[in-house]
Amino acid sequence: MRYRYRMQSLKTGWGMEGEPTPEGKTELEKVRKQHPAQYKFSRIYLAKQMIPFHHDVYRPFRLTSIKDILQ
């Protein structure tokens, strides 16, 4: 397991992950300011990753829900 900073917005459905360092959090804050519509209402928090290679660092991804998976 690894820790990573995670930025996600449940309202827009977009997320991004960064390195677990102060610089990683700063980088995510910069991205949030550059793309305000995509990361509106997003929050940045430290998350424990069970599968750290699932999402690449600093690459946007769409959030999914169980409804999306079952369709």
Q: What is the mean pLDDT of each run of 10 residues along the chain (71 residues)?
A: 89 91 96 92 89 79 67 53
CB atoms within 10 A of CB 13: 14
Question: What is the domain range of residue 57?
Answer: 2-70
Q: Is the pTM of this model over 0.85?
A: no
* Count of domains for the chain: 1
Confidence (pLDDT) at 68: 57
Confidence (pLDDT) at 49: 81
Confidence (pLDDT) at 66: 55
